[in-house]
Amino acid sequence: MDLVTVWFALVVLCWVLFFVLEGFDFGVGALAPLLGRDDHERSAAVRTIGPFWDGNEVWLVAAVGVTFAAFPDWYAALMSGLFLPFVLVLLLLAGRGVALEFRGKHSGAAWRRRCDAWLAATSLGVVALFGALLTVFARGLALGADGEVTSSGGLGAGLARTLAPLASWDALAGAVVAVGAALLLGATFIGLRTTGPLRVRAQRVAVVVAAVGAGALAVAALVTALVGTGPAVLETAGAALLAVVALLAARRREAAAFAGTAVVVAAAVVAALTAGIADGVVLASTLDPAYSLTLASASATDSALRLISWAGVVVLPGVVVYQAFSYWVLRQRVASERVAT
Q: Are the CB atoms for 183 and 131 separated by under 8 Å?
A: no
The pTM of the full predicted model, rounded to 2 decimals, is 0.90
Give the three-state DSSP class for 168: coil
**Other beta carbons less than 10 A from residue 199's beta carbon:** 22
Contacts of 221 (CB under 8 A, 6+ apart): 232, 235, 236, 239
DSSP secondary structure code for residue 334 in this structure: E
Q: Can you give the pLDDT at residue 154?
A: 52
Q: Is the pLDDT of residue 305 over 80?
A: yes
Residue 314 or residue 22, greater confidence:
22
- Confidence band, pLDDT 50/70/90 cuts, at residue 341: very low
Q: Give the pLDDT mean for 50-71.
A: 90
pLDDT of res. 234:
80
Question: Which pLDDT score, from 0 to 100, does residue 120 have?
Answer: 94
For residue 232, pLDDT over 80 is answered with: no
Q: At residue 36, does pLDDT exceed 90?
A: no
Distance CA 95, CA 7 (A): 32
